[in-house]
């Protein structure tokens, strides 16, 4: 089966600094895949390259069989790729509803109301606050809004960058329930998440990045049992006072 996303030998530079080198990964249709790694490992850069926000020096990005490596970001959104960036990047001076409408700018006018209603069904609190300025929402509500905005064009692949960052545990659990619900509707998800334990519990497979290179990949259960992953990202062996072998 053709994967929904096939990244091949991706290399990205920021000026003279190499952010990614030779990264290859796939996301299957309807699959959740997680990217793990320390800060600065290249996780966000990978998502930004897929969504057209940065241009690779080398490599190919194929979405649903189509090469989108050099496609503009708006064309990638129109093709069915949604991106929820780290830090949410909502428009604080716009209302909740206005933020959703910005996310739906590629949607046919006759379908916009239906898409807004779907966002409010997924996140009822947004419906109750639709006339409120987005900048006055709580952190969890802003994250819900960022996800709702990305879902307006009905993407078939959703890129999520640190969706639980800065959220209280209760809100974090709610966000992960929503991610599962989105995936259950048939949307493939590429997830960058600081909570490696929760990410591996949610995802079918994972990749681990270190300083821009892939160092480990495999099914989530295998990664959770890998001594390198357990020590570096799950903290399990350190918590017992033992050393990873």
In tens, the pLDDT along 127-143 reads 999 999 999 999 999 99
Pick the CATH number of 1-80+155-245 from 3.30.420.130, 3.50.50.60, 3.40.50.300, 3.30.930.10: 3.40.50.300
Task: In whole angstroms, give the CA distance from residue 5 to residue 217.
Answer: 16
Q: Among all chains, which residue has been given the structure tokens 């639709």?
A: 130
Longest CA span, the chain: 60
Q: Per-residue pLDDT for 79 more than 60?
A: yes
Q: Where are the domains of the chain?
A: 1-80+155-245, 90-154
Q: What is the pLDDT of residues 205-235, one digit of tens each?
A: 999 999 999 999 999 999 999 988 887 777 5
Q: What is the DSSP code string of 139-204? A: HHHHHHHHHHHHHTT--SEEEEESTTTT--HHHHHHHHHHHHHHHHTT-EEEEE-S-HHHHHHH-S
Q: Which is it for strands 17-27 and 157-161: parallel, antiparallel or unpaired? A: unpaired
pTM of whole model > 0.85? Answer: yes
What separation in angstroms does the CA of 145 have from each of 100, 115, 169?
Answer: 8, 13, 18
Q: Which two tokens stand for residue 227?
A: 């001594």
């Amino acid at each position: 089966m053709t994967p929904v996303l096939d990244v091949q030998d991706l290399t990205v530079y920021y000026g003279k600094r190499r952010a990614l080198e030779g990264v290859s990964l796939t996301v299957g249709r309807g699959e959740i895949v997680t990217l793990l790694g320390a800060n600065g490992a290249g996780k966000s850069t990978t998502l930004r390259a897929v969504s057209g926000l940065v241009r690779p020096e080398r490599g190919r990005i194929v979405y649903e069989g189509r090469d989108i490596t050099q496609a503009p970001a708006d064309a990638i959104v129109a093709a069915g790729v949604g991106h929820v960036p780290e830090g949410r990047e909502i428009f604080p001076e716009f209302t909740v509803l206005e933020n959703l409408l910005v996310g739906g700018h590629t949607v046919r006018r006759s379908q916009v109301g239906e898409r807004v209603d779907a966002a409010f069904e997924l996140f009822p609190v947004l419906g109750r606050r639709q006339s409120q300025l987005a900048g006055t929402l709580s952190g969890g509500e802003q994250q819900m809004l960022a996800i709702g905005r990305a879902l307006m064009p009905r993407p078939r692949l959703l890129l999520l960058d640190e969706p639980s960052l800065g959220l209280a545990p209760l809100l974090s659990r709610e966000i992960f329930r929503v991610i599962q619900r989105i995936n259950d509707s048939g949307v493939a998800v590429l997830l960058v998440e600081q909570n490696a334990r929760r990410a591996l519990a949610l995802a079918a497979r994972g990749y681990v990045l270190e300083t821009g290179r892939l160092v480990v990949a495999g099914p989530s259960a295998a990664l959770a049992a890998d001594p390198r992953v357990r020590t570096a990202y799950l903290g399990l062996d350190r918590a017992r006072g033992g050393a990873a072998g």
